[in-house]
Amino acid sequence: MNNVVVSLDIGSSKISVVIAEINKKQFNIIGVGTSECKGVKKGVIVDIDATVEAIRNSVEMAQQMSNIQVKSAFVNIKGGYTTVIDSKGVVAVSREDKEITQEDVNRVIQAAKVVALPPDKEIIDIIPKQFIIDGYDEIRDPIGMVGVRLEVDAKLISASTTNVQNIIRTVQKAGLSVDGIIIEPLGTSAIVLNEDEKELGVALVDIGAETMDISVFRKKKLIFSKVIPVGGNHITNDISVLCKVTFNDAEKIKRQYGVANSKLVKSEETIKINNIAGKGEKEIYLTDIAEIMEARISEMLYIIKNELEKNSLIGYLGAGIVITGGGLFNIRGIQETAQNHFELPVRFGYPNYIGVANPTYSASAGIAMYVLKQKRTSTVTAENKKTIKYKDSLNEETASTTEKEDDELKFGWLERIKEFFADFF
């Protein structure tokens, strides 16, 4: 086994857990778990017990698939619920020969964290933009270089202490420790966007059940992020209310017959659905469903465009707009409708990896990739109950399993992957 990371996506309708590894520089998914969650509203935890239960169920599914017991995880937080602060750190190089070590890098990053924050905010992450050695800038990795003065230009990410502590408390009550809290757009972009898009300028729109997280990247940096409290469930609710069917039936109708443009259905097409009172069936015209969905989707697209225009960001989107998340996934005609609305290139993005090839896993799989690229990993326990603590390096690891045990583990998770996909095919 190689370096392993566990990522936890706490969403408004579901909890997703992904267990991933780097093996010979290749990113692999070895465990996936998803569970319905009713403890989160608009990206904020409102019922800890319900969220804890959903986390436990998702973790259990991922553990069964991977033959690994999860001890800790990296957790997401919506980008719009965070604040990005520019900061600078300066230290003197400690060694006599003036060679810069990892210890110097850690010290200068800690120095950059020393900023004044409101009492209700706390720092959850720091992203170095560049290192500077004796005035020479644009250095990405200073370790091994020689200098007297080491500086870092960094972006600090802060969030509400209440929100952060509720996330940590919930994950701990589920039996896990928190390795770190990752701003969701950075994670999602790692697996959904390519480097050219982030360089040219792109809007990443993650549409979930109850929220839309709009983020803009330019010159490979996150320059804007905001959460809008509108999502796929609003479409479902419209169908439920206007067609007088249950929410669950409305969700099935949306997924099976949903379109983004009413011109895509014939006026005489109908479906039969159970009455909301449970007595008999009723007939619904698909044109009625299409008109309801078209109106709500047009409103959502208008909100996105208005937010980008209001913040003078449209001119930065050389690579257009990338939509992900499960809120508008698999709705017929949605890409063409969005492209006509924005008058920009639009594509739908999702992780292109076995087991998570669905936009509902964009955040959880993306966080795993983002964290592994940073050479940070999680603590897990193999089936034989021997703890394996992976160090913060893709090249350094200590493991108590033998070569034979590794082979058994690999065989185990391969069998579970076969079983997992046998349920769908």
* CATH code, domain carrying 263: 3.90.640.10
Closest CA to 33 of 165, 166, 176: 176
For residue 401, pLDDT beyond 80: no
Domain span holding position 171? 3-79+164-188+354-422
For residue 142, pLDDT beyond 90: yes
Mean pLDDT of the region 189-207: 95
Q: Do residues 318 and 368 share a domain?
A: no
Q: Do residues 224 and 338 share a domain?
A: yes
For residue 402, pLDDT beyond 80: no
Looking at 294, 317, 333, the residue that finishes a domain is 294
Q: Do residues 265 and 304 share a domain?
A: no
pLDDT computed for residue 268 by the predictor: 83
For residue 395, pLDDT beyond 80: no
Local confidence band at 197 (pLDDT 50, 70, 90 cut-offs): very high
Q: Do residues 63 and 174 share a domain?
A: yes
For residue 369, pLDDT beyond 90: yes
Q: Do residues 175 and 27 share a domain?
A: yes
The two tokens of residue 83 are 């604040």
The two tokens of residue 165 are 């502590």
Handedness of CA 323, 328, 334, 339 (dihedral sign): negative
Q: Do residues 205 and 246 share a domain?
A: no
Find the Cα–Cα–Cα–Cα dihedral 25, 28, 30, 33, rounded to 10°.
130
For residue 416, pLDDT beyond 70: no
pLDDT computed for residue 83 by the predictor: 87
Element (H, E) at 255: helix 247-257
Domains in the chain: how many in total?
4
Local confidence band at 342 (pLDDT 50, 70, 90 cut-offs): very high
Mean pLDDT of the region 93-112: 93
Rounded CA-CA distance 67/383 in Å is: 6
Q: For position 107, which CATH number holds?
A: 3.30.1490.110
Q: Do residues 172 and 24 share a domain?
A: yes
Local confidence band at 420 (pLDDT 50, 70, 90 cut-offs): very low
Rounded CA-CA distance 241/210 in Å is: 17
Closest CA to 39 of 160, 170, 168, 213: 170
pLDDT computed for residue 281 by the predictor: 82
Mean pLDDT of the region 3-14: 92
Average pLDDT, the chain: 86
Closest CA to 75 of 205, 163, 156, 13: 163
With a pLDDT cut of 90, the percent of the chain lying above it is 65
For residue 409, pLDDT beyond 80: no
With a pLDDT cut of 70, the percent of the chain lying above it is 89
Looking at 119, 145, 162, the residue that finishes a domain is 162
Q: Which residue has the higher pLDDT, 148 or 280?
A: 148
pLDDT computed for residue 388 by the predictor: 40
For residue 302, pLDDT beyond 70: yes
pLDDT computed for residue 399 by the predictor: 37
Mean pLDDT of the region 65-78: 92
Q: Do residues 7 and 112 share a domain?
A: no
Q: What distance lies between CA 137 and its chain's CA centroid? A: 32
Mean pLDDT of the region 71-82: 90
Q: For position 316, which CATH number holds?
A: 3.30.420.40
Helix (H, G, I), strand (E, B) or coil at 372: helix
pLDDT computed for residue 424 by the predictor: 39
Q: Which residue has the higher pLDDT, 221 or 296?
A: 296
Looking at 294, 315, 330, the residue that finishes a domain is 294
Local confidence band at 383 (pLDDT 50, 70, 90 cut-offs): low
Q: Do residues 52 and 171 share a domain?
A: yes
Residue 224: phi and psi, rounded to 5, are -160, 140
Mean pLDDT of the region 20-39: 90
Residue 417: phi and psi, rounded to 5, are -65, -40
Yes or no: say if 66 and 382 are a contact pair by the CB < 8 Å rule. no
pLDDT computed for residue 277 by the predictor: 66
Q: Which residue has the higher pLDDT, 329 or 235?
A: 235
Mean pLDDT of the region 135-150: 92
- Burial pattern 67-102, b for ≥16 Cβ within 10 A else e, equals bbebbbbbbbbbbbbbebbebebebebeeeebebee
Q: Do residues 145 and 125 share a domain?
A: yes
Q: Do residues 90 and 151 share a domain?
A: yes
Q: Do residues 275 and 300 share a domain?
A: no
Q: For residue range 246-271, list pLDDT tens digits in order.
A: 999 999 999 999 999 999 988 888 88
